Structure 1
């Protein structure tokens, strides 16, 4: 259903008429009048203006008359509202958050084309809003190749079997043949989910471990309404309840930017240093991270983190004595 455009400038309403005509095979004058909140006679003037610009609008007069674009005529969507332009611009800038930094040159070119299509006022507003936003990828995001992702998505769309070399931590590289039902992004990683011919069962594959993707001629039929995200989540290990961590660090917040993961982490200035609050499922790794920051710190919670440091201290003392240390 169309929504009120909120644009009262006549030129913008003329462009809105064009957008509505491109969205439907035909539109009645009454519908256009209702959406634009103008009279049918005003709609006729907007249509006449489009025709004067060379846009082939055809119409039927009388009760129930409708307008349509000449069959086969289409204009590229070069006119955007401020919100539409901002969403596109921020989306292009945020690709690296999905591990798609390889698309940076294409995103830059697309952004330049977008800027050229915008009216000066809209472009200046979008640039100002972009300048007020800072985006940073978490260290946990894993990059994938643009060509591999594009090839895989094409195979999913065409329902074509793919073959690729797959390397996992548990096994050496081997060739896998898979009917990929969906590709998806979860917790900083890209996955392919589908039926593995080798195992003859559903399997998940990380795209950053794939290489030498080949799209085969064989086709398949994906199960209807397959929920790849639910299946992927069911294969991941059940996480322990996250520990609520509170630590004071003898360092300014600006000195920690880029050194502290942004995932489930908050830092703020406090008492000449930084208060770090975080949620973590495993504490030993976080304890090692704190030791590696090379600044004084105080653990205010949870008690389990203090116990981890106690065990680490005992192991360090054993190393100092030359005694063997077990994992």
Structure 2
């Protein structure tokens, strides 16, 4: 299975992962005799690892309570997942953590065996990651404090400003923090409104974690609540478009806000709800792939108007001011 050194390290990993492990379990996992397990335990103790327990055949072993070592070994897949996760922080609007991510990556590289390190570096070099244009930059320190408050079930206080209200001080029992469509949100009970509310983290400032605790409702689904509170202004058009590209090529390029992507006929069926059909038409043209609009008829009409304007521009003949004003007026009245 492993060489003896790797077996000793495996014993340490198992002891860190469980409250206690019997000698029989260790023998079965390592495919060795119980007597050999006793030698591995003795080796760990010789290295200063505080392993407690009986050494007999039926004995159980555990690490001294409170003792933990950082992971000493990673599989190739574990190392790759960590490396890519560090590189992808900017996709969550946490570009400010780049120096810390770089330092963590360097520490990770130092812990890897040479062969695994070379493989991970080669795979990293083969990957390019780019943030979606609607990802909002977030204060990493503020988010860290907020997550700590969620974990400790402690009330927070912060200054909050939105486009519809002036800056206010809010006190909130935050049940969950989550990332949705390029933005971080905090969801919980607002003391000012005495009701559930969601808050964009990029609009928070001056966060304070108070010495006040609360009990979150069990099984609270913050994502479901947040989606239910972000309705589209009425009326919203129901859009159905077939795109000549697989879903995996479109994810990250298409907003998930009231949008569903599904594989269909070698391409992708996009279903969405939108108010600004002109903006959505421009977005579809910018995807640089063929598509077919199956609905609504109003979206096809938008493309007809865009096509007519492009034909005029392509001919080199400027449109008359009156005609342009008439066309823009029609588009504006439709978008309302």
Relative distance call for 1:43 and 1:168 in structure 2 (3 A) is same
Equivalent position of 1:279 in the other structure: 270
User: 2:293 maps to which residue?
Assistant: 301
- What does residue 98 of structure 2 align with? 104
2:166 to 144, 147, 172: 172
The alignment yields a C-alpha RMSD, in angstroms, of: 3.5
Aligned with 2:241 (options 231, 241, 244): 244
Alpha-carbon offset, residue 192 of structure 1 = 0.8
Could you tell me how far 1:134 is from its partner in structure 2?
A: 2.2
TM-aligned CA distance change 1:174 to 1:11, over 3 Å:
same
Distance 1:318 1:231, change over 3 A: farther
Question: Which residue of 1 is the match for residue 210 of structure 2?
Answer: 216
Q: Confirm or deny that 1:37 pairs with 2:31.
A: yes
Q: Which residue of 1 aligns with 2:313?
A: none
TM-score by length of 2: 0.76
Is the partner of 1:176 in helix, strand or coil? strand
* Equivalent runs, 1:52-63 vs 2, <5 Å: 52-63=46-57
Report the more deviating stretch, 139-148 or 298-307. Answer: 298-307
| Displacement of 1:230 | 1.7
* Aligned partner of residue 107 in structure 2, secondary structure: helix
Distance in 1, matches of 2:81 and 2:285, equals: 40
Equivalents in 1 of 2:302, 2:184: separation in Å? 33
Cα drift, residue 82 of structure 1 = 1.9
**Conserved in 2, the CA contact under 8 Å of 1:182 and 1:194?**
yes
Rate the CA distance shift 1:240–1:222 in 2: closer, same or farther, 3 A. farther
1:3 aligned residue: none
CA contact (8 A) 1:162 1:177 kept: yes
| Residue aligning to 1:24 | 18
Match for residue 42 of structure 2? 48
Q: Supply the distance in 2 between the matched residues of 1:168 and 1:312 (Cα, whole angstroms).
A: 35
Deviations 1:61-108 (A, max 9, x none): 434223333455432223222222122111111111212112111111
**Which whole-Å CA distance do the structure 1 matches of 2:285 and 2:20 have between them?**
68
Deviation at 1:165, TM superposition (A): 2.4
Which of the numbers 114, 118, 130 marks the counterpart of 1:136?
Answer: 130
| 1:64 paired residue number | 58
Give yes or no for contact 1:162–1:215 (8 Å, CA) kept in 2. yes
Structure 2: distance between partners of 1:320 and 1:289: 27
TM-score (norm 1): 0.78
The number of aligned residues is: 302
Q: What's the offset of the Cα at 1:125?
A: 1.7
Q: Note the alpha carbon deviations across 1:101-153, whole angstroms, 9 max, x for none.
A: 12111111111111111111221121122222222221122221101111211
Q: Which of 2, 7, 20 is the matching residue for 1:13? A: 7
For 1:202, the equivalent position in structure 2 comes to 196
Q: 1:119 to 1:287 in 2, by over 3 A?
A: same
Are positions 1:261 and 2:253 aligned together? yes
Q: Offset at 1:205?
A: 1.0
**Equivalent residues of 1:246, 1:302 under 8 A apart:** no
**Is 1:227 aligned to 2:224, yes or no?**
no
CA contact (8 A) 2:160 2:170 kept: yes
Does the Cα contact within 8 Å between 1:100 and 1:145 map onto a contact in 2?
yes
Counterpart contact for 1:181–1:194, Cα < 8 Å: yes
